[in-house]
Amino acid sequence: MQLALEYPQVGEPLVQAWPATGGDSSVGIRTQAGLLERGASEVVVKELLRAESLRGVKDSELAGLRIPVAVLPSVPENPSHQRKTVDALLATIPGSGELPGCPEPPTPDFPPHRDALVATLVSTVN
């Protein structure tokens, strides 16, 4: 998302697949611990996890996007990819639309959805 905000002319439409939920302290604590264990600095972790609707991005930045954005929800939702995040993005990003959702890879539930996801993505970007 940060790339799209800084360089909107580079690629469109943008697909925001399985958007990472911000503002959930239980998820944030677990994610913070994992990032720190892997060597991320506290400054980087803080910036990545700052949260409004979407991790690492302010809602005011999202509201300023002027490129087509398709949002692909995790179905079923899970603590890291909650439905409320999809709804917030659809309400915040002008002209955004929702794609059919599916489980995210690499979860075991994803493989049966792969072909349908690829077809959806191809039709979205063409």
Sheet holding 69-72, edge to edge: 14-17, 69-72, 97-98
Assess whether pLDDT exceeds 90 at residue 105.
yes
pLDDT in tens, 38-68: 999 999 888 888 778 888 888 999 999 989 9
Domain at 111, CATH number: 3.40.50.1820
Residue pointed to by tokens 């072909």: 115
Residue 51, domain extent: 2-125
Q: Does position 21 have pLDDT exceeding 90, yes or no? A: no
Residue 78 has pLDDT above 80, yes or no: yes
Instruction: Give the closest residue to 87 by CA, choosing from 98, 99, 78.
Output: 98
Residue 22 CA from chain centroid, whole number: 10
Count of domains observed in the chain: 1
Does pLDDT of 12 surpass 80? no
Say what the pTM is: 0.85
